[in-house]
Amino acid sequence: MSKQFTEQGGAATMDPSRLLRWVTSRVMSKVSRADVLEKRRARTEQARRRDGLPHVVEYFHQVEDGYSHLAAQVLAPLCARYDIQLVCHLVSGPSGKNAPEPELLLRLSRYDAAIVAPEYGLDFPGVSAQDNPPPDSARVTQATAILAGLDSAGFVQHAAAVGDALWRADQSALDALASSLGTVDNRALAARLAAGDARLAQLKHYSGAMFFYGGEWYWGVDRLYHLEKRLAALEVDKHAGQPLLVARPPVETGPLQGGGHLTLEIYPSLRSPYTSISFDRTVALARATGVDLVVRPVLPMVMRGVPATRQKGIYIFTDTAREAREAGVDYGNFYDPIGNPARRCYSLYPWAKAQGKDVELISSFLRCAFAKGVNTNKTRGLRKVVEAAGLDWAEAQQHLGDSAWEEILEANRQSMYEAGLWGVPSFRLLNGDGEPLLALWGQDRLWLISRVIQRELAKSG
């Protein structure tokens, strides 16, 4: 029996929350390991070769999703570049516990896609960060009916054009595509969506704009570089040595510095894998560029009553692991801080902030929980967090359990929602008048924030 079990009285006497925390920690630590991933990939490739199968990549498209339109634009280049068979599905999008805020997600997809598209050399027509209304529902149905009548080859060839007409609200272009490509009736359309949704569920995922290959998921253009590198390693890249189709842009910390009266807000949580691999990098970016950093912690989503499914959790942890490896960040030796550990650390937050150590406290907690495997539910674990942050443990104990943090975190949550965001880490970049220049969700937007900082500093200089 492991030391962690015996220290807590064994499985028979461990309270359910501790047992769940222990099991989650072990499972998620395992799925995050690079050696486990490589062994799984090797078995998958061995089975493919044994059965004489091609390299099959499956793509899941949600017509009214901004991210899906960006992905549609790389389908043809992906097929031209790599020796793969691409199978395309239509899906109706996430629902239930996998999508607690579906309308917010679609709205963010439009706003985010409009900002990201030009950075990737793509196009998101008819929509801007300032003006991003949803597409007309009748046009969405018409566009879906066109795509539902296409096989995968036709989908690859025409999906971007159909999406372009939809997002431009160009009815004549959409009608012309319907005339030349044909459409399906409502029954066939529903059947195609149902088949796509069923396949997505069978493969244990929940979202559109997703690529699936060999047991792993890749989200839209933002994760395509992981898939490209994997395919290249399998020697199916027809243009080996050439730049990737969609490479991950680097985080830029120069050449301009000095802040220019910019403020970067980060909304972290203490149980967020994605926060754990981006918090220190956000701090470093702000310090390197002289931007004022404001840390606005919020409760973890599951502690705010937002449900999370097992399939979503597995994807998030495995995706975070490969993003961490790419960024050179320590991650994966995980001890789940959900519930009491997070609350106890949050209770120290106002005191740490008064000491000028709020950043250090959050950084230390995330590092201990997600990279060092420290059980922050134990007193000695929390003491490690506090002392590593440069704070006095004896003094910290006097503030454990204080409730002032609750009002602070709730105010932060409301501010985050008002910005159209709800997940973590979220970011807002503000100008000297406190007006938002960007409001983005996700550690994979840090590179974009860094670019906008450089552009704003160039204006002020």
Mean pLDDT, residues 67-83: 98
Residue with tokens 């701090």: 283
Q: Which of 459, 452, 444 has the alpha carbon at shortest distance from 222?
A: 444
pLDDT one-digit tens code per residue, 185-209: 999 999 999 999 999 999 999 999 9
Indicate the DSSP class of residue 334. -
293 and 371 part of one domain: yes
CATH code, 41: 3.40.30.10
Whether 148 and 272 share a structural domain: no
d(CA 281, CA 222): 18
Quick one: 64 and 210 in the same domain? Answer: yes
For residues 146 and 283, membership in a common domain is answered with no
Provide the 3-class DSSP secondary structure of residue 436. strand
* pLDDT for 16 beyond 70: no
Banded pLDDT at 75 (limits 50, 70, 90): very high
How many helices (H) does the chain have, and how many strands (E)?
20, 8
* Model confidence, pTM: 0.93
Do residues 351 and 412 share a domain?
yes
Please give the structure tokens belonging to residue 334: 């995980």
Residue 361 has pLDDT above 60, yes or no: yes
- 217 shares its domain with 301: no
Average the pLDDT over 389-396 and give the result.
Answer: 98
Is the residue at 48 inside a domain? yes
Are both 222 and 282 inside the same structural domain? no
Above 80 in pLDDT, residue 17?
Answer: no
The pLDDT mean for the chain works out to 93
Q: pLDDT tens-digit profile of 90-105?
A: 999 887 667 667 788 8
Which residues on neighbouring strands pair with residue 292, listed in sequence order?
A: 263
Residue 10 banded pLDDT, cuts 50, 70, 90: very low
Identity at 206, one-letter amino acid code: Y
- DSSP 3-state of 426: strand
Q: For residue range 305-341, what is the model confidence (pLDDT) as tens digits? A: 666 788 888 899 999 999 999 999 999 999 999 999 9
> What confidence tens digit (pLDDT) does each residue in 247-260 have?
999 999 999 998 77
Partnered with residue 427 across adjacent β-strands are 266, 440
Query: Could you tell me if residue 402 is inside a domain?
Result: yes
360 and 214 in a common domain: no
Range in 238-242, 288-292, 302-306, 401-405 with the lowest mean pLDDT? 302-306
Amino acid, single-letter form, for residue 453: I
Average pLDDT over residues 367-394: 97
**Predicted pLDDT of residue 343:** 96
Amino acid 305: pLDDT: 65
Q: Calculate what percentage of the chain has a pLDDT beyond 90.
A: 83
Q: Is the pLDDT of residue 13 over 60?
A: no
- Domain holding 316, by residue range, is 263-460
Q: Dihedral sign, CA of 209, 138, 121, 424?
A: negative
